Chains A and B, each alone.
Chain A
Amino acid sequence: MIDMSPSLVLVVTIAALFAAGVYLLLERSLTRVLVGVVLVGNGANLLFLVAGGAAGGPPITGVTPDRRMSDPLPQAMVLTAIVITLGLSAFLLAMAYRSWQLHRHDEVQDDVEDRRIAQLAAADERAMADTDTEGPAGTLDEDAQEARDETDDGAVPTPEASLSTREDEEPVDEGRGAR
């Protein structure tokens, strides 16, 4: 029977890394999210190491007897995973820096949709202003519009409404997140 019981210290460390990592992942600031990703990633790596069973001798033929070796496969895989985590953390760091360059902060911003709905709810307006139902544009166009109107509920949005919708769609590049 293979002895699979891991060291308790490792298990407690894994739990602590995951708990702290998840807490940080839920933060707003990208730097904290980055630290969270690193912690959770290391927790997962340790978990993988534990998954290989109890520690034994170095897995080199001729140095350690076959039956006393550690399992080298999880170690090889964890090494790969560590490299990947390193590379991706570096990318996240670069992105946090770029975000700081652009906005002078590194907070994760809201979904565009969420923002638009929140604004519309505040103004209590329709989500979309159909130009199908807008005012007169010309005789031919009017006829064409009437032909198509039957599918619509006929609510004619005010010019302000369509104007404000248009403003909302503008990509928000700067100054938006200075909360």
Chain B
Amino acid sequence: MTFDWLVPLPVVVPLSAAGLALALYRRPRLQPIVSVGALTIVLAAAVALLVVVDDKPLVVEIGGWRAPIGIDLVADRLSALMLTISSAVTLCVLLYSLAQERYDDEESAPISIFHPTYLVLTAGVANAFLSGDLFNIYVGFEMLLAASFVLITLGGTGERIRAGTIYVVVALLSSVLFLVALAVTYAAAGTVNLAQLALRLPEIDPGVRLLIQVLLLLAFAIKAAVFPLSAWLPDSYPTAPAPVTAVFAGLLTKVGVYAIIRTQTLLFPGGALDDVLMWLALATMVVGILGAVAQDDIKRLLSFTLVSHIGYMIFGIALSTDAGWSASIYYVAHHITVQTALFLVVGLVERVGGTTSLTRLGGLAKIAPLLAILFFVPAMNLAGIPPLSGFLGKMGLLQAGVQVGTPLAYTLVVGSVVTSLLTLYALVKAWNKAFWQPPEQDRPATTLPFGMVGPTATLIAVGLALTFAAGPLYGYTERAAESLAERTPYIDAVLPAGDPGDLVAEQDEHDEVAAPGSGGAP
């Protein structure tokens, strides 16, 4: 029995549902059913994929064209894991925003566009995770970016337009960089298929290869908010509505991180830029967390911790060992759930406290004790308090760093510990101020809407589940990292007969007429 049909579902289902939801814009009752249904199917498909691809990667050639010429979707362990976590998170955030819609009357005006856009965003994320083709990754990025542009400027208030402008222009710039990288790749290797590139890139000039690597890293690093390219993030994310910020913080940067992992491991083994990445990781961690310490607005504070913790993942990638990659993948899974949960909690804090400014918040522990717990658990998780998943992720990274044992790796290990402590400081400060300091004025006790607490609590529970299931999960990420390091499982799955372009190239040597690219027409 083959499970190939599962692979396109995470892209096709939300995209079709987006069309359906758009057609139903006059029926606000039906829209949520469509989107919740679609995302539930995606989650089920992702979980099924997670189990199935543990044996070997699944490849689906879209439109029936053979792999290097047509578009292929590839689900291996890494993509399946990313997909599962991301679909669980998107479903929780959707449920949260549904409840928010129900309780907030004033914000319900232009909401009919929310569901279709949100579904396109999920489809874009899934497409980027599954695609076995650099150009298709670009298309996935554009799908999720276009959707995110709409979501970040939802309602079109002055502040959101201001923040959105910066976000949109930076995102467009990174897309152009990505496109240039694709053009250079195609000119150099005659293909953009990841598996075929993995076979061909070692043969091209090392200088050109380095150029391609730098261009791709630049494009992805803007998306992932790695330090010198991260200034746009803390300014643009906090102005969006809470669920939107939550899903952006959880997923969009991680898509960039995923793309970095995929290209670094599959296309550029040997780690030509590892030292540079290490320094960037260190700078991202330290500068990010220093920004967080100085913040007074809790949403901005969390945005800075988001930037800072991207550094951990880059650190793991830059180690270029199985252990480093494995820890990095685990850390991505942990960070998606925890960061999203924290932003959802902050949405609740804003509801109860009426503001996100830490100087003005206060006494929330008395008004809403449940909220205090909801904030405390993911906050400690993010800071890396044992035995939570944040601790396990950091532990894995530190071990991998010590195993490598170079002076730079040790510097990074120290940097990670310091960053972790500063995260703890920033979050405890936020917790003290929001929940324990005497409030400026007494606020009426408000009940927390169950529809919003439920999804938040579920997400926190997922974070805790990552702790309890850390053994099997680490086993899974280790197997994922092993196959990333071997590279052959991925390449063999996509191109079972080797590089089909080689045949054509041999013919070309006898034949003087020009046949550009990967052998002309199929």
Contact = CB atoms under 8 A, between A and B. Distances in A.
Contacts of B162: 99, 109
Given A67-B511, A95-B164, A166-B359, A132 B183 contact: no
Interface string B499-522: 000000000110111111110110
B158 interface: yes
Given A74-B186, A98-B156, A131-B359, A169 B296 contact: yes
A150 interface: no
Given A2-B508, A95-B168, A162-B359, A59 B157 contact: no
A153 to B, nearest CB: 14
A128 B180 contact: no
14 contacts: A66-B520, A70-B516, A71-B516, A84-B142, A87-B146, A88-B168, A88-B175, A91-B149, A95-B164, A102-B158, A102-B161, A108-B169, A129-B359, A166-B359
Contact of B517 (A73, A80, A84): A73
Interface string B118-156: 000000000000000001001100100110011001001
A160 to B, nearest CB: 15
Contacts of B180: 44, 47
Contact of A112 (B156, B165, B235, B509): B235
Interface string A90-101: 011001001100
B164 A44 contact: no
B360 interface: yes
Q: Is the interface of B mostly helix, strand, loop or mixed?
A: helix
Interface in B337-362: 357, 359-360, 362
A81 B362 CA distance: 50
A46 to B, nearest CB: 9
A67 B521 CA distance: 9
Contacts of B184: 47, 51
Interface in B419-449: 432-433, 437-438, 440
A67 B520 contact: yes
Nearest to B150: A91
A72 interface: yes
A42 B362 CA distance: 52
A87 to B, nearest CB: 6
A100 B428 CA distance: 42
B179 A45 contact: yes
Nearest to A72: B521
A131 B437 contact: yes
Contacts of A132: 433, 437
Interface string A41-69: 10011011011111010010100001111
A49 to B, nearest CB: 8
A164 to B, nearest CB: 12
Given A54-B514, A108-B169, A129-B359, A66 B294 contact: no
A174 interface: yes
A40 B158 contact: no
Q: Which of B166, B186, B516 has the most chain A CB atoms inside 10 A of its CB?
A: B516
Contacts of A84: 139, 142, 146, 175
Nearest first, the 5 A-B pairs at minimum CB distance are A53-B516, A71-B517, A51-B187, A173-B158, A67-B513
A45 B294 CA distance: 42
Contact of A50 (B173, B187, B432, B433): B187
Interface residues of B, number: 62
B168 A91 contact: yes
Contact of B514 (A56, A102, A128): A56
B482 interface: no
Q: Which of A2, A25, A52, A66 has the most chain B CB atoms inside 10 A of its CB?
A: A2
A120 to B, nearest CB: 11
A113 B169 CA distance: 19
Interface of B: 69, 135, 138-139, 142, 145-146, 149-150, 153, 156-159, 161-162, 164-166, 168-169, 172-173, 175-176, 179-180, 182-184, 186-187, 190, 192, 231, 234-235, 294, 296-297, 300, 357, 359-360, 362, 432-433, 437-438, 440, 508-509, 511-518, 520-521
Given A88-B146, A132-B433, 17 more contacts: A2-B517, A37-B176, A47-B179, A48-B182, A56-B516, A61-B521, A71-B520, A88-B172, A91-B146, A91-B149, A91-B150, A109-B162, A112-B235, A113-B234, A113-B300, A132-B437, A148-B432
A171 B438 contact: no
A149 interface: no
B139 A80 contact: yes
A51 B186 contact: yes
Nearest to A128: B296
A95 B165 contact: yes
Given A47-B183, A102-B158, A165 B513 contact: no
Contacts of A53: 514, 516-517
A8 interface: no
A42 to B, nearest CB: 10
Contacts of B515: 2, 66-67, 69
A127 B359 CA distance: 12
B516 A4 contact: yes
Contact of B183 (A44, A68, A169): A44
B479 to A, nearest CB: 34
